[in-house]
């Protein structure tokens, strides 16, 4: 029996002494009976300094802190927990539990002390990081909203009005959207528009160009990686999908996504879980996916370069954005909007002459809205005077304008009056004639005009550069 008592005592002592939490025991009057090593370390006081002393006496000598969870438990005869800071600046949670005998007399108080200094520091750091993250996300949203205001979607053509209505309608749901259209039509702007009108507008839209990232890095960028996952991975990094949690991710040029990454993206779209490279853990996230491409995905599926199952997952709601050449009614307001925007940004007041505007509206814009923006910015920056005239236009605009005068007569811009329409037709006729004939005399004979009149009008409309001096003789 004595042997068993000794074993139980050793076991009891081992448990108390090995605890990482501080433990000390008082009797029912507040006299300290036992202190474990963790409590000695926390209070920076040895057991020999504490055991046998009244708690208040030890506290008066600065060895322990007040208020005391032990004394409060004795007073209230119930468990007490206190958040405290000791004389060494350590933050503690002290929990005192009273122990009663069979007659209800308080005989012991067991106090557990947990040092939460490091936990508290980590919690503060986490809160600071979360605050910075929230601030960063808020700034992203503000910049995206500002970008949408700077480059508004102008819809005058029926085909563009239809596309815009569809975009606003699908903004209200969480379905996956596949934006289809030629390069430069404004798929990114449509993605911003959908985001701005969705329930996720308070969260950022994270954009990633699948064609601009090397194939061996695209998976790491999308899904993130852990330290040591590959050469150069010196730390952990969340992927774009994680960064877009609760928001939207816009996968531009989705057709360029490698087959291996297509498999992983498909798996994510099925279960909503992300696994970083080099990790066995998965994270559940809530992300809406918008994808865009200027390629024929169905044709790529037939060729085996794009997965059929991923294609069906992405094209839940396909949305086609018309090219600029099919948006003739949008050209004039678009051009004027961009000229005004870039003029403000350059702190100037530039405007277009009627002939210059007419020339710009007759161009086909194979690069779509992106090309139009670049041309407008170039005109604002490079023109010598506040009036941007035909002579300021790039040569490829002059030579690539649509010369179908009949189309103009049927669908001329509503902003043009009769004199402007006549000038426009005259310029187009002269431009067509300059392509048919090599000399001004030939143009004059064909149109029943004098050669000086032809020369003056060619110069007026910026067409004189089509002729070398030798050809004009």
Of 217, 184, 187, the closest CA to residue 205 belongs to 187
Q: What band does 277 get if pLDDT is binned at 50, 70 and 90?
A: confident
472: pLDDT strictly greater than 50: no
Give residue-wise pLDDT tens across range 207-222.
Answer: 999 888 888 788 888 9
Q: At 456, which CATH number?
A: 1.10.8.60
Token representation of residue 340: 């005004």
Q: How many domains does the chain have?
A: 3
Q: At 67, which CATH number?
A: 3.30.450.20
331 and 314 co-located in one domain: no
Picking from 322, 356, 373, the residue at the C-terminal end of a domain is 322
More confident residue, 453 or 289: 289
473: pLDDT strictly greater than 50: no
195 and 340 co-located in one domain: no
Give residue-wise pLDDT tens across range 340-364.
Answer: 989 998 899 999 988 888 889 888 8
210 and 295 co-located in one domain: yes
pLDDT of residue 384: 86
Domain annotation covers residue 144: no
pLDDT of residue 190: 92
310 and 203 co-located in one domain: yes
Picking from 322, 353, 383, the residue at the C-terminal end of a domain is 322
CA dist 175 and 231 (Å) reads: 37
Average pLDDT value for the chain: 82
289 and 400 co-located in one domain: no
User: Per this entry, what is the length of the chain?
Assistant: 473
More confident residue, 422 or 210: 210
CA dist 183 and 164 (Å) reads: 18
∠ CA(61), CA(66), CA(67), 5° rounding?
160
Picking from 272, 306, 322, the residue at the C-terminal end of a domain is 322
430 and 310 co-located in one domain: no
Q: Measuring CA to CA, how many Å separate 264 from each of 161, 167, 243, 250, 389?
A: 36, 28, 17, 16, 53
Give residue-wise pLDDT tens across range 251-260.
Answer: 999 999 999 8
77: pLDDT strictly greater than 60: yes
Q: For residue 254, give its domain range.
A: 151-322
220 and 242 co-located in one domain: yes
314 and 355 co-located in one domain: no
Q: What is the mean pLDDT of residues 304-315?
A: 93
Greatest mean pLDDT range, 130-134, 235-239, 380-384 = 380-384
306 and 452 co-located in one domain: no
159 and 292 co-located in one domain: yes
Domain annotation covers residue 133: no
273 and 156 co-located in one domain: yes
150: pLDDT strictly greater than 70: no
Domain annotation covers residue 134: no
Give residue-wise pLDDT tens across range 88-133.
Answer: 777 888 888 888 988 888 888 888 888 777 676 777 777 666 666 6
pLDDT of residue 142: 57
Q: What are phi and psi of 278, to 5 degrees?
A: 85, 10
304 and 157 co-located in one domain: yes
Token representation of residue 262: 């297509």
- List beta partners, residue 111: 24, 96
Q: What is the mean pLDDT of residues 435-457?
A: 83
First and final CA of the chain: distance in angstroms?
Answer: 131
pLDDT of residue 135: 61
Q: Measuring CA to CA, how many Å separate 186 from each of 174, 189, 290, 343, 364?
A: 21, 5, 14, 21, 16
């Amino acid at each position: 029996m004595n042997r068993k008592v000794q074993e139980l005592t050793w076991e009891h002592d081992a448990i108390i002494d090995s605890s990482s939490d501080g433990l000390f025991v008082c009797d029912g009057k507040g006299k300290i009976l036992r202190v474990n090593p963790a409590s000695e370390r926390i209070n920076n006081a040895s057991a020999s300094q504490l055991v046998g002393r009244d708690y208040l006496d030890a506290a008066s000598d600065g060895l322990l802190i007040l208020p005391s969870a032990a004394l409060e438990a004795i007073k209230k005869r119930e468990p007490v927990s206190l958040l405290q800071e000791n004389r060494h600046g350590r933050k503690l949670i002290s929990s005192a539990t009273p122990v009663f005998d069979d007659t209800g007399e308080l005989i012991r108080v067991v106090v557990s002390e947990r040092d939460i200094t490091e936990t508290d520091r980590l919690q503060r750091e986490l809160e600071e990081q979360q605050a910075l993250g929230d601030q960063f996300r808020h700034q992203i949203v503000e910049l995206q909203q500002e970008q949408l205001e700077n480059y508004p979607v102008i819809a005058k053509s029926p085909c563009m009005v239809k596309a815009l209505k569809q975009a606003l309608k699908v903004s209200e749901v969480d379905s996956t959207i596949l934006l289809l259209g030629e390069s430069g039509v404004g798929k990114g702007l449509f993605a911003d528009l959908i985001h701005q009108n969705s329930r996720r507008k308070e969260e950022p839209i994270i954009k990633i160009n699948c064609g601009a990232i090397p194939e061996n890095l695209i998976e790491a960028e999308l899904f993130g990686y852990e330290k040591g996952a590959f050469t150069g991975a010196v730390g952990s990094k969340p992927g774009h999908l994680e960064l877009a949690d609760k928001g939207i991710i816009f996968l531009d040029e989705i057709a360029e996504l490698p087959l291996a990454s297509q498999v992983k993206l498909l798996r994510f779209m099925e279960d909503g879980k992300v696994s970083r490279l080099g990790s066995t853990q998965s994270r559940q996230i809530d992300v809406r996916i918008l994808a865009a491409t200027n390629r024929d995905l169905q044709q790529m599926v037939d060729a085996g370069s794009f997965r059929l199952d991923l294609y069906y997952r992405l094209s839940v709601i396909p949305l086609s954005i018309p090219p600029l050449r099919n948006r003739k009614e949008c050209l004039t307001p678009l051009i004027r909007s961009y000229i005004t925007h870039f003029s403000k940004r350059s702190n100037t007041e530039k405007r277009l002459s009627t002939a210059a505007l007419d020339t710009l509206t007759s161009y086909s814009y194979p690069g779509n809205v992106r090309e139009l923006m670049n041309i407008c910015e170039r005109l604002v920056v490079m023109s010598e005077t506040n009036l941007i005239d035909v002579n300021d236009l790039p040569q490829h605009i002059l030579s690539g304008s649509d010369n179908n005068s009949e189309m103009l007569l049927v669908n001329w811009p509503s902003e043009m009056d009769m004199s402007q329409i006549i000038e426009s037709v005259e310029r187009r006729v002269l431009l067509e004639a300059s392509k048919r004939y090599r000399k001004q005399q030939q143009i004059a004979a064909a149109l029943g005009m004098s050669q000086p009149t032809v020369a003056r009008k060619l110069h007026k409309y910026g067409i004189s550069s089509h002729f070398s001096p030798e050809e004009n003789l």
